[in-house]
Amino acid sequence: MDDEIAGGDLTRMAVLALLGRDGPASRAAIARELDLSPATVSQVTRRLIHQGVVEPLYFAPSEGGRPGQLIGLVGDAGRAVGVKLAADHIVLVEVRLDGQVVATRSENFDAKAPDAVQRLVANLASFCGNQETRLLGIGVCVPGVVSSPDIGDVDADVLGWKAMPLGARLREGTNVPVLIENDVKALAVAQRLFGAGRGRRNFVVVTIGRGIGFAFMTNGVLQRGAGGGAGELAHVIVGSNGPQCDCGERGCLEAYIGSDGLVAAGRTAGLLKARQGFEVLASLADGGEPRAREIFAQAGQRLAQAIAPAIAAINPELVLVGGEGTRSWPHWDRSFRTGLARRLPVWMRNTAVEVDKWDESSWARGAAAIVLATPFDRNAVAGQQRLQVLARLHGTAKHDNAVRARG
C-alpha cells in the first residue's frame, strides 16, 4: 500500500489543491497551470484515481481538437483536524484534502493548568464528532520547539512546558495519528501546499505578533535543523542588557519587537496608560500619532536588520509576512523593505516581500497541513505516524469506492 501512494513529492498535493481551488480540469489544463509535462500529469492523476481521491468526470466541449476528460477532486476522501495552541486559548479547524476549511471553533484554554492536556483531549473529542472514518490525523502547532513532530515532545516557554510529551498523550487520548510542530513551520507547510508558496521551492515565512517567527523552505523541503530549532531568530540576542524575554534571557529580538515589547515602548513614550495594550498603540498609529508610528517603523527596521543575514544565506524567491500582528504592517512596511534591501547583496535586493491575508484560523490550518502533506510528500514530517495516516487515507478511499459501487 505504501508503495502505491508514497514516494512522490508535493506535485500530487499541488494537483489536488488546483482541483479544489478551480474545480474540475483536464489533464492538459493541469499541465499548463502547474508547468508540468503531460506525462507527469497522467502518472500523477492515475495514482490519485487509484487512491480514490480524484475521479474522472465528463468530457469538456471540444474546441476543434480531441475533447479532454475533466478530472475532479473527491474532497471528502480525507480530512485533518488542526489545532493552534496558545497560552490562553485554542483554535480548532477541520480541513479537507484540498485545503478548504469546513469547520472552526475557538475555546478558552489554560496551558499551565494541571489538567491542560486532558481538557485538550476532551475538546478534540467534541470537535471531531462523527468524522473519525474520514479523519487522517490531528495536527497541533505550538509556539515552541518540537524536536520530532511524529513523537511530539514540546519545549514552549510561553506555555510553561518543558519536554512535554504532548504527542504521546494526545495519541493515547484520541487513538488517531497526531503530529506536533512549531506554529511557524506548520504555517510554511500550509503556504507550500495551498498559499503563496505553491510553485515556489525556496521561500521564507516571517510572522509578527506576540512572538516573532521565522521558517523557511529550501528546494521544497521544510528546514527543521538538528533539534527542530531552525529559524528561532526570535531569541537571538540583539541588545545587551535589553528587556526581559519569556525565554529567560534579556535582549532577544522578540523582547524588543513582539507585541509586549512594542507596548512597553509605547508606555515609555508616554502613549499608553498602565492597562492599555497593543490595540491602543496600533489605533494611535492608524490615527497618525507620530510617536506611535515611529515605534512600528523602528520595529520594522530592527526586524530587517535581524533577518537580513538569514535571507542572504537562504536566497529565497519570496519573503512572506504573516501572523496576527499584520494588521499593523503598513506601519512596519517601508522601514522593513528599505532596511532589508540596504543590508542584502545587490543581486538580492529585489527579493519579493508579500503580506499574507490573516485570520484566527490561519495557524490551525497550518497544523492541519502537516497531516495533509503526509501522503503526498516524501519529505513530510510524519515519521513514525506516516503509515498510519496512509492506512487511514487508503481505508477511507476503499470504503467510499465500495459504497459508490453498491449504490
Q: What is the pTM of this model?
A: 0.85
Looking at the structure of the chain, the number of domains it has is 3
Model pLDDT for residues 147-160, shown as the tens digit of each residue: 899 999 999 988 99
What pLDDT sits at residue 377? 67
- Alpha-carbon span 404 to 308, nearest angstrom: 54
Contacts 24+ apart (CB under 8 A), 45-48: 45/15, 45/71, 47/4, 47/5, 47/8, 47/12, 48/12, 48/15, 48/16
- Alpha-carbon span 248 to 288, nearest angstrom: 35
Q: For residue 136, what is its C-alpha cell?
A: 487522517
Q: Which domain holds residue 213?
A: 197-355
- Alpha-carbon span 6 to 143, nearest angstrom: 30
Same domain, 72 and 86: no
162 belongs to a structural domain: yes
Same domain, 220 and 343: yes
Model pLDDT for residues 83-122, shown as the tens digit of each residue: 999 999 999 999 987 788 999 999 999 999 999 999 999 9
What pLDDT sits at residue 2? 41
Same domain, 393 and 271: no
**Is the separation of the CB atoms in 141 and 95 below 8 Å?**
no
- Alpha-carbon span 6 to 199, nearest angstrom: 21
- Alpha-carbon span 214 to 231, nearest angstrom: 5
Model pLDDT for residues 200-249, shown as the tens digit of each residue: 889 999 999 999 999 999 998 899 999 899 999 999 999 888 898 888 88
Look at residue 351 and tell me whether its pLDDT is greater than 70. yes
Find all residues with CB under 8 Å of 116, minimum gap 6, and list them.
Answer: 109, 110
**Is the separation of the CB atoms in 343 and 304 below 8 Å?**
yes
Model pLDDT for residues 361-383, shown as the tens digit of each residue: 899 999 999 998 887 666 677 88
Same domain, 278 and 308: yes
What pLDDT sits at residue 61? 58
Same domain, 202 and 346: yes
Same domain, 173 and 203: no
Domain finish residue from 17, 49, 76: 76
Same domain, 338 and 381: no
Q: For residue 212, what is its C-alpha cell?
A: 516573532
Residue written as cell 525556496? 202
338 belongs to a structural domain: yes
**Is the separation of the CB atoms in 90 and 83 below 8 Å?**
yes
- Alpha-carbon span 69 to 66, nearest angstrom: 10
Residue 407's pLDDT band (boundaries 50, 70, 90)? Answer: very low
| CATH number for 39 | 1.10.10.10
Residue 385's pLDDT band (boundaries 50, 70, 90)? Answer: confident
390 belongs to a structural domain: yes
Q: Which amino acid is at 348?
A: M
Q: For residue 22, what is its C-alpha cell?
A: 478551480
Same domain, 222 and 346: yes
Look at residue 65 and tell me whether its pLDDT is greater than 80. no
- Alpha-carbon span 211 to 323, nearest angstrom: 9
Residue 6's pLDDT band (boundaries 50, 70, 90)? Answer: very low
226 belongs to a structural domain: yes
| CATH number for 227 | 3.30.420.40
Residue bearing the bigger pLDDT, 370 or 384? 370
Same domain, 290 and 208: yes
Kindly report the average pLDDT of the chain as a whole number: 87
